[in-house]
């Protein structure tokens, strides 16, 4: 039996009322969403060993060069700064690290610089592998329950975050800029080279560093320094080395 226009309008209003009555709460929507995903109580991302499942070497070296140099030995510090939000893989970090090291060894000697990578690839990523053979569309489930499996780790980078730093003497400034320029090509996106005003890897300005050491506000401690404030208990001040 054919429906009239009034019957059609009534059925439309009834559907509207039915949809208004089906207002799901956030808890219900979250329950429906998470029930559609595979249950995984623990996601094992990366192994702690140096050799991964594929047999590749997992890079864990973040410092190269003269790592035991004192804080006042290399005053100039050049850094590579990211200009984009991106993820950097440990393979890219290793390639840039090696590229900068090889150039600095050739130009300044193996004991004329320390290199430090400021990023650590701790962010785990997942991959949803799919079949690529003939008739894969009939065998695979597509994007149903696409939680993914552990694929590796990356380092999350923000705008203005330092990727890598090189310390050396003031006369080797051009070599530091060239080494960081060559290492830039190992990363995607845009990076900038910045010559810092700080003393080496410390957070204190190079022009005031010697005065602060003379005033005993800074105490050299290996490759870094210890900051001594002007206020605090007298016992701690007297216990400091002269």
Looking at the chain, how many residues does it have? 242
Rounded average pLDDT over 11-21: 58
Give a yes or no: residue 163 inside a domain: yes
Contact 221, 213 (CB under 8 A): no
Phi-psi region of 13 (alpha: psi -120 to 50; beta: other; left: phi over 0): alpha
Separation of alpha carbons 117 and 71, rounded Å: 17
What integer pLDDT is reported at residue 90 of this predicted model? 87
Q: Which of 36, 28, 167, 37 is nearest to 111 (CA)?
A: 167
Domain residues for the domain of 192 are: 57-126+149-201
pLDDT-derived band at 57 (thresholds 50, 70, 90) equals very low
User: pLDDT (tens digit, 9 = 90+) per residue, 172-202?
Assistant: 899 999 999 999 999 998 999 999 888 888 8
Question: What are residue 81's DSSP bridge partners?
Answer: 162, 192
User: pLDDT (tens digit, 9 = 90+) per residue, 150-177?
Assistant: 888 889 999 999 999 999 888 989 999 9
Give a yes or no: residue 241 inside a domain: no
Residue 8: pLDDT over 60: no
Residue 204: pLDDT over 70: yes
Give a yes or no: residue 90 inside a domain: yes
What total number of domains does the chain contain? 1
Give a yes or no: residue 225 inside a domain: no
What integer pLDDT is reported at residue 177 of this predicted model? 92
Give a yes or no: residue 17 inside a domain: no
Domain CATH number, residue 117: 3.90.1170.10
Q: Give CA 154 to chain center in angstroms.
A: 7
Residue 85: pLDDT over 80: yes
């Amino acid at each position: 039996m054919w429906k009239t226009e009034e019957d059609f309008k009534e059925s439309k209003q009834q559907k509207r009322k039915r949809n208004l009555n089906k207002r799901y709460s956030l808890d219900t929507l979250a329950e429906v969403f998470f029930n559609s995903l595979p249950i995984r109580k623990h996601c094992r991302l990366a192994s702690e060993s140096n050799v991964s499942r594929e047999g590749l070497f997992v890079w864990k070296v973040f410092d190269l060069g003269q790592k035991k140099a004192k804080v006042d030995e290399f005053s100039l510090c050049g850094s590579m700064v990211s200009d984009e939000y991106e993820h950097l893989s440990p393979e890219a970090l290793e390639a840039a690290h090696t590229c900068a090291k090889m150039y600095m060894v050739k130009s300044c000697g193996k004991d004329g610089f320390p290199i430090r990578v400021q990023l650590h690839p701790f962010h785990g990523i997942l991959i949803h592998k799919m079949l690529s053979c003939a008739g894969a569309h009939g065998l695979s489930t597509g994007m149903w329950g696409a939680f993914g499996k552990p694929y590796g780790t990356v380092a999350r980078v923000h705008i203005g975050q330092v990727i890598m730093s090189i310390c050396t003497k003031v006369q080797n400034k051009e070599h530091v800029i060239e080494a960081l320029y060559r290492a830039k090509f190992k990363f995607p996106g845009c990076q900038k080279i910045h010559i810092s005003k700080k003393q080496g890897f410390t957070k204190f300005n190079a022009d005031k560093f010697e005065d602060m050491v003379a005033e005993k506000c800074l105490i050299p401690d290996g490759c870094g320094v210890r900051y001594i404030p002007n206020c605090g208990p007298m016992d701690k001040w007297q216990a400091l080395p002269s």
